[in-house]
Chain A
Amino acid sequence: MGLTKSSMGNTLLNSNIKFNKNQNGFTIALAGNPNVGKSTIFNSLTGLHQHTGNWPGKTVSNATGHCSYKNTDFLLVDIPGTYSILSDSQEEEIARDYICFGNPDATVVVVDSTCLERNLNLVFQIMEITDNVIVCVNLLDEAKKKHIKIDLNLLSELLGVPVVGTIARKKKSLNNLLDTIYKVCNKDIIPKPKKVRYLPIIENKIDLLNSKLKELFNISPNLHRWISLKLLDDEQTIIKSIESHLNINLSNNVSINNIKSDIEEEFSHIDITKSNFKDIITSSIMQRAEQICDDVCTFENSNYSNRDRKIDKILTSKTFGIPIMILFLGIIFWITIVGANYPSQMLFSFFGFIQEHLLSFANYINCPPWLSDMLILGVFRTLTWIISVMLPPMAIFFPLFTFLEDLGYLPRIAFNMDGFFKKCCCSGKQMITMCMGFGCNAAGVVGCRIISSPRERLMAILTNSFVPCNGRFPFLITIATIFIAGSYTGFTGSIISTIAVLFVIILGIFMTLIISKILSKTILKGIPSSFVLELPPYRKPQFGKILVRSIFDRTLFVLGRAICVAAPAGLVIWIFANIGINGESLLNIIANFLNPFASLMGLDGYILTAFIFGIPANEIVLPIILMCYLGNGSLVSLDDTFAIGNILVQNGWTILTAINVMIFTCLHFPCTTTLLTIKKETGKWKWTFLSFIIPTICGIILCMFTTFVYNIFV
């Protein structure tokens, strides 16, 4: 789950590293099918922490990092996974452009040893573009478990390029890879790819076009064969990017067009048409791949995926599939709620204690009261409240969620839910992007690149903020714990809070479906497009790594963000609360202004004000609400979370207020970072505006509805 500094927030906005070239060393591209362990290899070699996860499409933009070996510097480029370079979804286009035009010194094609045949398809396609290919046969441990043996030397001989076997999770196994990379870059090993030979007639035409290209353009001879093949295929999108990247004009070239129409004419007599050309090419490649696999692989046990199949039968069964999904989510929430409660209390008391002392210390050194108030009651208090509320739930929720992710469960969720999404004319992959939204909506929006249809991708982007992100989720938990569970404590209380949170999340999913349906009937008209998703094998999560990384990343992240956002926000709020006209604070003026509208929604003016102030970062909503209330009341410090409950009740909160706050937390405008990311991903302010207005209207209507119903019955 994407939640480090580099994978979310503002850094997402300028993360389009395209064609970096290493000035004083070598550039190495890591390509391959999705989910074969490219990012894992990248991390091991560079010591960086690119996110890895057991589902196809985890990496959606290029990442770079350095590593050195024998005093040589290597710039590694981790590219999104791709099944072929004739790709159509956006993250695959990024991959294709880098592989085709990034011009690295060597391209490492990582392949999955448990399904070599399919992976060789990409290997052959890449070998058409560049000679400097190294094949890295990864996941050898899984192959061993499945009793698949691969003769790497023979494979290398048959492909004509160096082949290295690795287990990416074991760093030691990568030494060999580095060594091979080093040798290829220094020309100690010169790969001589044995390309697939297509039908003689096609080869003949490729040669014909080759010589024409040589005559016409001054481009690297390596590319001739590939461009000829694309010309024969008449693949417009690729031809366009060839033209723009190599700065040549193919489609308007008279002599090429003449040759092309002659060939077309000739092909039509032997039943090679535009529509079956790709089949013919791919069939040749796959035939070669089958032959090679027959030679190099030995399957000692043909029922090797039985265990996975048994688990799948249960997790996707007609009766239990969806209940199990909700149960998993519920269990995660429950553990989070129970586990976060106590540390939260401790943090509250601890910071309260420090605050007391800071105040008396300020007093002692004769600090002017306005300054100490501003710094301690404004900045320090907001900061520490956020940390107390946010940190414990996050430190528990994310490792648990990452655990499910590493297990390989996310694509199963998409598989289970796709039927519903199809009815709403969108893609089941949207479910995966929603799961990423739990971490950060901005990351979720970027993750929508895995959806290939532009229309469905837009729908996923517009509805992503229906999932509460890490800034809002702890707030939900707090309200559920201190308010909904209310007088119930212990086990019953935690179950009640879990159900409340679960209910809000399911409401969010439900709203996503409804809004998608409405969008697809109005501004984003269209029929559901295709959905092809690979369900990866279940993998044992790396417990230690998950724990260390999520807690470490998360803690640092939350603290960092709290300092960056909450501290200034605390200052601003404090100023608003303490500066005013005619003795009434600005905050009060705004809140009073909003109050009539807010009460229609079953909220109050302060709550609405807090949400508006929370646009830069949703984390600060609760502290602002509390600060508003405290500004009016007599309490100064909070000893624990229950004190929060008391303040809320004193300020007129009822069960309705709590429910509506939870609903509105889930359904309201996304934060600025998300909005900017949406602008960047969609390129239009129109969509950004819609993504702001849609959830807000939903939230307002829903809150008004619950208030209406509540007022009838109570």
Chain B
Amino acid sequence: MNTKITTLNKLPVNETGFIYDIQCSENVKRRLLDLGIVKNTCIKTILKSPSNGLKAFSIRGSLIAIRDEDSSSIKIYIK
């Protein structure tokens, strides 16, 4: 199967990816784990903030806003 590895901030709106690796700082990583964001979790970009710099993603049935700084250190793969 064709898979492409990229970072979460580059996932366009309405596209779906899967978490591959979380390389954020300790605190952020813990927060993401708390939200159930682990390897292979399905994630979809939903909204972009009008003031730029953050996006909202649909994760396990809820909508979570994450700043680009953090989402750029989350690796995802797209099938």
Q: Which residues of B contact A313 (CB under 8 A)?
A: 47
A115 at interface by CB-CB < 8 Å: yes
The chain A residue with its CB closest to the CB of B41 is A286
Known contacts A415-B56, A532-B66; decide if A118 and B36 are in contact (CB<8 Å).
yes
Residues A118 and B62 in contact in the complex (CB < 8 Å), given A279-B38, A418-B49: yes
Q: Tell me the complex Cα distance, A291–B53, Å.
A: 35
CB neighbours (8 Å) of A316 from chain B are: 47-50, 56
Binding-face segment, A83-91, A207-215, A385-393, A493-501: A83-91
Task: Output the least CB separation between B17 and chain A (Å).
Answer: 17
Given contacts A322-B50, A530-B70, A532-B66, contact A84 B33 (CB under 8 A): yes
Tell me if B15 counts as interface (CB < 8 A to partner A): no
A121-B36, A416-B49, A417-B51 as given contacts; A535 in contact with B31, CB under 8 Å: no
Range for the number of chain B residues in contact with chain A: 35 or more
**Minimal Cβ-Cβ distance residue in A for B21:** A279
- Are B67 and A530 in contact, with the CB atoms below 8 A? yes
Fill in one digit per residue for A224-242: 1 if any B CB lies within 8 Å of its CB, else 0. Answer: 0000000000000000000
Q: Is the CB of B51 within 8 A of A416?
A: yes
A530 touches B65 (CB 8 A): no
Main SS of the interface on chain A? helix
A543 close to chain B: CB less than 8 A = no
The residue on B at minimum CB distance from A319 is B50
- B15 to chain A minimum Cβ distance, whole angstroms, is 14
- Count A/B pairs, Cβ under 8 Å: 138
Instruction: Tell me whether B61 and A317 are in contact (CB under 8 A).
Output: no
Contact B28 A528 (CB under 8 A): no
A382 part of interface (Cβ distance < 8 Å): no
Q: Is A419 in contact with B53, judged by CB distance below 8 angstroms?
A: yes
Q: A84-B34, A418-B67, A530-B69 are in contact. Are A279 and B51 (CB under 8 A)?
A: no
The number of chain A residues with a CB under 8 A from chain B is 51
| A532, B31: Cβ atoms closer than 8 Å | yes
CB of A564 closer than 8 Å to a CB of B:
no
Mask: chain B, 19-63; 1 = CB below 8 Å from A; 0 = not: 000101111111111111011010000111111111010111111
B64 within 8 A of A: yes
Contact with B along A258-278 (1 / 0, CB 8 A): 000000000000000001001
Report A340-387 residues with CB < 8 Å from chain B CB: none
Residues in chain B near residue A533, CB distance under 8 A: 64-65
**Chain B positions within 8 Å of A532 at CB level:** 28, 31-32, 35, 64-67, 70
8 A-B pairs closest in CB distance: A419-B51, A115-B61, A321-B50, A83-B34, A84-B34, A530-B28, A118-B36, A419-B53
Chain B residues engaging chain A, CB cutoff 8 angstroms: 22, 24-36, 38-39, 41, 46-54, 56, 58-67, 69-70
Q: List 16 A-B contacts (CB under 8 A).
A: A87-B34, A88-B30, A117-B60, A118-B61, A282-B38, A283-B38, A283-B39, A312-B47, A316-B50, A322-B51, A415-B65, A416-B50, A418-B49, A418-B53, A533-B64, A534-B64
Which chain A residues have a beta carbon within 8 Å of chain B's beta carbons? 83-84, 86-88, 114-118, 121, 275, 278-279, 282-283, 286, 289, 305, 308-309, 312-313, 316-319, 321-322, 411, 414-420, 422-423, 428, 452, 528-537
